[in-house]
Structure 1
Amino acid sequence: MTTATATDRDPALLDVLTDALSDLGQRPSPFGADTVKTLWVDPHLSAQMLTYHLNPEAPQASRTLPVIEATVAWLAERLDLGPGRHLCDFGCGPGLYTQRFAAQSGATVTGLDFSPRSLAHARTQAEAAGLAITYHEADYLAFDAAERFDAITLIYGDLCPLSPEKRRRLYDVWRRHLKPGGRVAFDVFTRARFETLRPGTFAARRLMDGFWSPGDYLGLQETFLYDAESLCLERYTIVEADGRVWRVYNWLQHFTVETLTAELAAAGFVVEDLHGDLAGAPLTPESHDLGVIVRLAGDAP
């Protein structure tokens, strides 16, 4: 986007805004812009996201505490976690799951994330609890370590913002880092959830109560739906008082059992379990979440 230093009395600002907002209402090509890291590395936004993560009433960054507890308990049993087993939580954030996996199962736990702020919180919490959790600051699409894991987790729809090409890269990372007999547990959003979404545009001064900037700004939220692809885009355009205009693209791929199973098979994985979430809920046609357990093709069931 365009950056400017014009004030609201400078006619140059009008040119900036006219140029920057000329495509409002026009759908970009699927996954045509990528701002995934913006929320997690920008100083202001990463602080906002950490606040959301740690607020048990805020669903924007994490699930509620009872759901987290139920998820950890079910996955610890399903993945046979315990002393001598090694789990890696991809996209671990501030450690809401890693800390509980380590404390409750006794497994060796590693967390992986590219947000310095979230990892700083996770490390502080682990140290205070006396838990020897290893945290790596890295993009999991490029993760390459000597470690191999009995279990890998990717929780709260983290696969959904990734383009098909990025998903293939992630599957490659999983294959390289799984031990023989290892499992991956993750969840995605379903086509049933997609069917509840509606396109639209909304604008507000200081949209989301100052989430996007500490100063004054106008925020515009556009929701685009791509029916053939079961894909949703929430595009946020932020116009700051100094004339700076920038955007965040939040893509969310939705899946059916058939599309996801085929994609995983092409990547060398076999689906073992399908549930309505990662706490073992039954999967129904109305489920908005799909909890998945996979293993490498060729591994014994």
Structure 2
Amino acid sequence: MVVNPVIPGFHPDPSVYRVGDDYFLACSSFEYYPGVPIFHSRDLTAWSQIGNALDRPSQLNLVTAPSSGGIYAPTLRHHDGLFLLITTNVSDRGHFIVTAQDPAGPWSDPIVIDGLPGVDPDLAWDETGACWCTYATFGAEAGTIMQVPLDPLRGKILDEPRPLWSGTGLAAPEAPHLYRIDGNCLVRCSSMRWSKRSGWMPRRERLGSVADPSADPSAVASLKMTGSSSSARPYRQSNSLTPSRPTRATPAGLSACTAVTSGSR
């Protein structure tokens, strides 16, 4: 029987990825340092922290970060033997990617994605090996899930961003994640930060095709999501602990679209 919370304290926006028999989880860290804690599990129930993806000043600048600023909603992936983590520092450089051979670290210095606005970026690879970044518009422009082809190892945008979906009409969609299930490509996103709703929108097109923004909202299944009301202080305390390091994971070469689960706000 699962006893929640499986990871107590302040650990919002979890992104979970499976490599072989191992599960790895990354979550937001906002204005706190070190950033983006990384956890490991074999059963999705017992988790241990194995490190932080952002643990040195060259990776993480929080000097001007206000409360609830800093690092938003990371996405953790594994592709071609390499772990990739994409996230957004809303108080500094915007979107960037860090990579590692071992999720416990060390992680690389950031590969900054210049010229790409928004928050909550996701990475996925199609059947041709092309990488796609899906993200949400933010602030005054919030309201659309966008997508762009990307070279993740250079941080280069390969085409103009295009709209993918504008939601069900409830509120501004955010936190998109892509999945390939039974031949369909699906996008899962939250309808609004405080609405505690999310939707599954099935897509049979290839990644990068433009979704019909007038699609029938009845095709979207509403799901309940658990909100987080924890204060930031327990995170700062728990994050100061020295994490244990489990056995190194064996890469399995899974496609990003077959992630076991990936949650967000």
How high is the TM-score relative to the length of structure 2? 0.25
- Greater fraction strand: 2
TM-score (norm 1): 0.23
Structure with greater helix share of residues: 1
Q: Which has the larger radius of gyration?
A: 1
